[in-house]
Amino acid sequence: IKGRQTRPRSSMRGEEEREAFLMGMFNIAMGQAPVAVKEIDLSGRKHLLDLGGGPGTWAIHFCLENPGLRAAVFDLSSTRPFAEKTIAEFGLTDRIEFKEGDYLKDEIKGRYDVAWLSQILHGEGPESCRSMIRKAVSVLEPGGLIFVHEFILNNDMAGPLHSALFSLNMLTGTRSGRSYSEEQIMDMLRDAGATNLRRLPFLSPNDSGIVAGTMP
């Protein structure tokens, strides 16, 4: 039986809980981003959208790795103070901006040549995920790249263990969240118009992986 809680997003929490949640996001990403960004070629790319980027950890490390890159973190207004403080601590205020919005309800403004969606699909059901991906690709330039970083299930949906247990946790603790398989994520990207779909070799200790696509 699915749980009845709302989606576990930072706007649903008190100030102390919200900051603890964002700090948890920051710490987890800090253990992955410095390694992952070195395996993702963004040569020549100029503007990255970090959709639902929370504290901005991934945007920060993409910009540190790619000196010519600017980024926008798109997330709820309640996330702004923590994100801007974190971005400032890395000396990137002039290259990373925060844009307020709800990726389930609001349109995304601007044009980008990279879209990064990290650990946001698992909080939603399939149709909401498709909507988020469509919104992301709608602001990508031709030839733009889209990356989905998630706890990815095998196509038989039986493992790996961490992704399967995480999916069970989301199914019981949220209205419609779950983990998705590589095939399911690729289908979502394909339906949004992405081509050259591929799984990157990156694999974290907690079984998260990255699926990439390119806009024609």
Please give the positions annotated as active site. 122
Query: What separation, in Å, do the N-terminal and C-terminal C-alpha atoms of the chain show?
Result: 41
| Amino acid sitting at position 68 | G
Asked if residues 146 and 115 have their Cβ atoms less than 8 Å apart, the reply is yes
How far from chain centre, in Å, is Cα 155? Answer: 21
| Amino acid sitting at position 170 | M
The sign one gets for the Cα dihedral 201, 204, 206, 211 is: negative
Helices (H), 90-157: 126-138
The sign one gets for the Cα dihedral 50, 53, 58, 64 is: positive
Residues 6+ apart with CB under 8 A from 64: 37, 90, 92
Residues 6+ apart with CB under 8 A from 174: 2, 3, 5, 6, 7, 8, 123
